[in-house]
Structure 1
Amino acid sequence: MTMKLEDKHIGIGSLLEEGQQYLGKKYQANGKPVANGRDEVSVKQEANGKCGMPRKSLNVYSWQEIQKHNQETDQWLVINRKVYDVTSWANRHPGGRRILNHYAGEDATDVFRAMHLDLDFVKLYLKPLLIGELAPEEPSQERNKSPQLVKDFQELRRTLEAMNMFTANPVFFFLHFVQILILEILAWLMVWYFGTGWLVTIFISFLLTISQGLSTTWWNNRHLQHHVKTNVYPKDPDIDMGALFLLGELQPVKYGKMKIKYINYEKQHLYFYILGLPLLVPVYFNLESIQLMCFQRCWRDIAWVSSFYIRHFITFGPFYGIFGTILLIYFIKLIESPWITFITQMSHIPMKMSKEENRDWLSTQVLATCNVEQSFFNDWSTGHLNFQIEHHLFPTMPHHNYHKVEPLVRALCAQHGLQYVKKPMFEAFGDIARALKKSAALWMDAYYETGSRVSTSTHM
């Protein structure tokens, strides 16, 4: 049976039914599913491997014991009921040591599957780290998580894999490359033909807002943390804006009670437009990127970022000179910064921010993330990142498949009572400022209430 995923009017029930057929599910006469071979294996048998296959016995651990190993110098985690000591491996982890620490003492099955595309390759690194397995009487996840929700999400993942939703379409990425090439050539031709006047410079700057020139190591270390613990304070670096902005409900109250006022947070929703929008990329992102490359001596990144600047100097240096080309590059970044800021912040700042609650993978992402409505412009201008929920649930999935899996994700959320938030783009933009204003009000209440109490106690 061939699935026609391109048909947007296909019913969600049909999609789920066909997806289940990919998994080889059998049904009884009463319509209830018969457990497949994987489900028939008991927890004890699953923990000990396939039936009838002798192997070396492993130590068994309870969740209570595993959860004690959640420190930076002592990190255990669980993947598919197997217990791994990743303490010694953390500093060599390609995604950065902090990601492993974020899941120390927890079940990391779904995040492990979400963040790694080639599991067979990655599992080679897991073998030497294996120290045991969950005791047969222990559930596969921590007791605070819903086993049915976790099971249903993992079933959805297997369905999408069977539907080839993790297979990239080369044409899609080739067209994006051609788009970049055409815009850069067009920008050069305009300068060559019309000169370097202000109108021409402004116009080509908009054309060239297509590449960043940032360290990939910096981006991975930062962005992967954001993905694995979205909106979890202080594990998600994207919600730590230093002294400039207070986000969510917890941080403003904390700062207020501690009488911290680095800046007038009452106006943060206003200076977001003055400082946050234009300076995020050319100042904040660039300085962090340069700092990491230099301090960690990331020579490959240095070479890559240098090639970005060299290409611009070769292309536009003859027209603008060295100093003029530098100004052009940062003018381009100044123009692209507001759009990138809106796109990256609209789906998270207005959503739930919390301390570590050790939720399941689906709940963690859906509660902290929202989507923006689909349209040709929204898809093209955001690189399909208007589907942030799907992007966070399946970060290795090619972007062009997000809209195809959205109905399945929505159905699963509805089944488990999770609110799936989807907004018009400009409403999402406005919600950033509204969320900042709400956080500022919480800070003001805590700040001035603390102040009044201190004043009263002083007079007493």
Structure 2
Amino acid sequence: MSTDIAFERDDAATTRTGGKPNAGSEFAELRRRVSEAGLLTRRPGYYAARIAVVTACYVGAWVVFGFLGDSWAQLPVAAFLGVVFAQVALVAHDLAHRQIFRTRRPSEIAGLIAGNLGIAMSYGWWMDKHTRHHANPNHEDLDPDVAPGILVWSDEQARHSRGVTRMIGRRQAFLFFPLLSLEGFNLHVSAVRAVLRPGLRMRRAEAVLLTVHTVAYVAALFLTLSPGLAIAFCLVHQAVFGLYLGSTFAPNHKGMPAPTPEQQKDFLRRQVLTSRNVRGGRLVDVALGGLNYQIEHHLFPSMPSPHLRRAQPIVRAYCAERGIPYQESGLVDSYAQALRHLHRVGASLRTRRQS
């Protein structure tokens, strides 16, 4: 199944083992209530304003960069630009889910501009990865976000870890946030790998836009700044970008259970029981791009992000009716839960080393 079709459907669950809920399912009743509340309609005015603000910040940061010239005062600009890049990524996320445009073509064009040209992230590669995550959240074999890598997410992965993964896994809870600062670089490397492999949709367009961004970025830094300052600017910028973007996704599923075989067949429970909401006010909504309402987002991925707050009491009440646990935590506590999970999973590696 193509990623654009998978993202278009509100169940986000037709890839791999997931199937679309039938008309009489528990999810169908919840969807009816949410639809009757008008929460599945698009919000063009909201997104026009949001994109305008993000674009103004993006352009404004580079204008200030040009005005300051070769000065160490550029480092705060680098940090601010890291925040802006993360906000662009969150807009690309909403584009991929068709929250902004109804049809594929404008979503894809805008996504390529925001992702590839704006922040040097392969929009097509990320769409494929994120689709698989939505279809099977926290499933060790099917969710790429918990696949074995530098970090281990389960006892099973810890038992089979080797080399650098095993070494980092022993102290991964302490290294988690420092490693997130490398996520920006990881996205860029993954983008290059994606366009070098056959099979990527609009591969040539993605490669051209990535090249334009990279050449313009490197030229701007090294033609404006001294070599040392240019490198420092890049490191600060990409570190803030990676840390911020990684921190928006980290509280949502990390430390939550993997779905059981029975839950894997039940769309409603598969999405609710593997997700965690983050409590907070409007500031948290803006900072996390609406991803703090992760349960509602996973149930209704094409729902515009400003509607997620309004959908929450409907979903929470429905889960209470059906006896489905609904997890939500404060922002700090959500990170603490994720870190405790990482520390617990790494315990066997620490014990093995001592023995």
Normalising by the smaller structure, the TM-score range is: 0.7 to 0.9
User: What is the letter of the counterpart of residue 74 of structure 2?
Assistant: T
- SS at the partner of 2:182? helix
User: Aligned residue for 1:188?
Assistant: 62
User: What is the letter of the counterpart of residue 270 of structure 1?
Assistant: F
TM-score normalised according to structure 2 size: 0.77
User: Aligned residue for 1:208?
Assistant: 81
User: What is the letter of the counterpart of residue 332 of structure 1?
Assistant: H
> Using the alignment, how far apart are the partners of 1:288 and 1:313 within structure 2?
18
1:182 CA drift (Å): 2.3
> Using the alignment, how far apart are the partners of 1:344 and 1:196 within structure 2?
35
Distance change (3 Å), C-alpha of 1:353 and 1:195: same
1:193 CA drift (Å): 3.5
Q: Does 1:102 align with 2:49?
A: no
TM-score normalised according to structure 1 size: 0.60
- SS at the partner of 1:380? helix
User: What is the letter of the counterpart of residue 319 of structure 1?
Assistant: T
- Identify unmatched segments of 5+ residues in structure 1: 1-89, 111-139, 142-149, 452-460
- SS at the partner of 2:258? coil
Distance change (3 Å), C-alpha of 1:223 and 1:409: same
Q: Does 1:269 align with 2:173?
A: yes
User: Aligned residue for 1:19?
Assistant: none
Distance change (3 Å), C-alpha of 1:183 and 1:261: closer
CA contact (8 A) 1:247 1:436 kept: yes
Identical positions, percent: 21
Picking from 265, 284, 298, the partner of 1:392 is: 298
Distance change (3 Å), C-alpha of 1:427 and 1:194: same
1:101 CA drift (Å): 5.7
Q: How far does the alpha carbon of each residue in 1:191-238 deviate from its partner, in whole angstroms, 9 at most, with x for none?
A: 34333312x221111222223320111101101100010001110000
Q: How far does the alpha carbon of each residue in 1:120-174 deviate from its partner, in whole angstroms, 9 at most, with x for none?
A: xxxxxxxxxxxxxxxxxxxx69xxxxxxxx6332112123223331222222112
Picking from 249, 254, 270, the partner of 1:349 is: 254
1:397 CA drift (Å): 0.8
> Using the alignment, how far apart are the partners of 1:95 and 1:304 within structure 2?
24
Of the two structures, which has the highest relative contact order with CA contacts closer than 8 Å and spacing of 6 or more? 2
Aligned residues: 311
- Identify unmatched segments of 5+ residues in structure 2: 7-12, 86-118
> Using the alignment, how far apart are the partners of 1:313 and 1:255 within structure 2?
40
User: What is the letter of the counterpart of residue 81 of structure 2?
Assistant: L
1:364 CA drift (Å): 0.7
Higher fraction of helix: 2
Higher-Rg structure is 1
Structural mapping, 1:50-449, within 5 Å:
90=1, 94=4, 102-103=16-17, 108-110=19-21, 151-198=25-72, 200-209=73-82, 210-211=84-85, 212-242=119-149, 244-252=150-158, 254-255=159-160, 262-274=166-178, 276-282=179-185, 284-296=186-198, 298-309=203-214, 312=217, 319-320=224-225, 328-329=233-234, 331-354=236-259, 356-357=261-262, 358-444=264-350, 447=352
Q: How far does the alpha carbon of each residue in 1:404-426 deviate from its partner, in whole angstroms, 9 at most, with x for none?
A: 00001001111122211111111
1:431 CA drift (Å): 2.1
> Using the alignment, how far apart are the partners of 1:331 and 1:262 within structure 2?
28
Higher fraction of strand: 1
